[in-house]
Amino acid sequence: MTEPRYGIWIPVYGNWGPLNQPEDPFDASYARARSLLIQAERVGFSSTLLAQHIINCYDQDFDQLETWTAAAALAEATEKIEIIAAIKPLLFHPAVLAKMALGIDAISNGRFSINLVSAWFRTEMEKAGIPFPEHDERYRYSQDWIKVVKALWSGERVNYQGEYFQIQDLSYRPTPVAQPRPRVYLGGESDPARSLAAQEADVFFINGQPIAEVRKIITDVSRRPRKQLQPLRFGMSAFIIARPTDKEAQEELERLTFLQAQETEPYMPNILNGNDPATVMFKTFEKYPHVGTNGGTAAGLVGSYDTVASRILEFVDIGVETFMLQFYPFARELDRFAAEVIPRVKRLQPVV
């Protein structure tokens, strides 16, 4: 059985769950991101993910952390943790992004990865005057885009003629510190997303869902054609509520559910009206009420320390390797998870 890896979602929107409570006030600053990531690295987390939006999807008047400048700074501020920056191909030409990624790869000494996201928030693109193709075309665009990026990371002279991009006699120096190149994560619920992950990604991110659904996704994606030499690996998003007893955890889930509804419902029209109707992700979210984003507590990692540890290992057993986690209040619950849950997982996991 593979030893699980734990990561944190940097709160680029301000918070996960309730947006603004005295115990965790709204704060989408770089200073907070840096503090949380240094804390996570200190207590044994191995990865972090920065989602990408150019405006806050709850309300454009709210602060929103910029992903790529923050990722470069976080690479300098840390020593061991993997930094994953989400990228929407519509925002950057692949030749430009490939060079930016090589810069952060060098700053981090090979700890940098990207998370390819084909975009769902139509509003930010329309406000910026950036074309927003239909759902399936965005995935064709993403496939052309990632092929260019990976080719340029190779260090070879690239001549590429694709549907959207044409590259002529272009090569980059220095070549990546990460070998053979920075890791590519990819998430998405739709059939085109799953196929693209099977063909081009190293790790497929799954939104938090009940384990039976996650098993179906892993089985489906694993059966799809793949040209990569290495098998596709899997990660999952989850919001953690761990307490001494199951009863206490359920009470906290009810409290956070109430607070989240109060604070996010006024802004949900901004998200739903700005969402591409063809996006499958939101249809999945409707099936499983949850706290947090990207499925959050729908993954079921809510309960006593022993319960949460056991459920993590159940996901590991079906193929989930990386757990990208959210907490509330973030700093306190991150420490609680590291002190109470991670050691229990290690004790429960068979020694290989």
Q: pTM score, two decimals?
A: 0.95
Q: Is 180 left (phi over 0), alpha (psi -120 to 50) or beta?
A: alpha
Q: For the ranges 187-191, 213-217, 270-274, which has the lowest average pLDDT?
A: 270-274
Cβ pair 178, 110 in contact under 8 A: yes
Distances (CA, A) of 203 to 97, 185, 262, 266: 20, 5, 35, 35
Q: At which residue do the structure tokens 């959210």 appear?
A: 326
Per-residue model confidence as pLDDT tens digits over 289-348: 899 999 999 999 999 999 999 999 999 999 999 999 999 999 999 999 999 999 999 999
**What size, in residues, is the chain?**
352
Using a 10 angstrom Cβ sphere, with 0-12 exposed, 13-18 middle and 19 or more buried, the burial of residue 123 is middle
- 18: amino acid identity, one letter: P
Neighbours of 296 (CB within 10 A): 28
Tokens (6 digits) for 43: 């207590």
Q: At which residue do the structure tokens 């998200």 appear?
A: 271
Per-residue model confidence as pLDDT tens digits over 137-179: 999 999 999 999 999 999 999 999 999 999 999 999 999 999 9
Q: Is the peptide bond before 329 cis (omega within 30 degrees of 0)?
A: yes
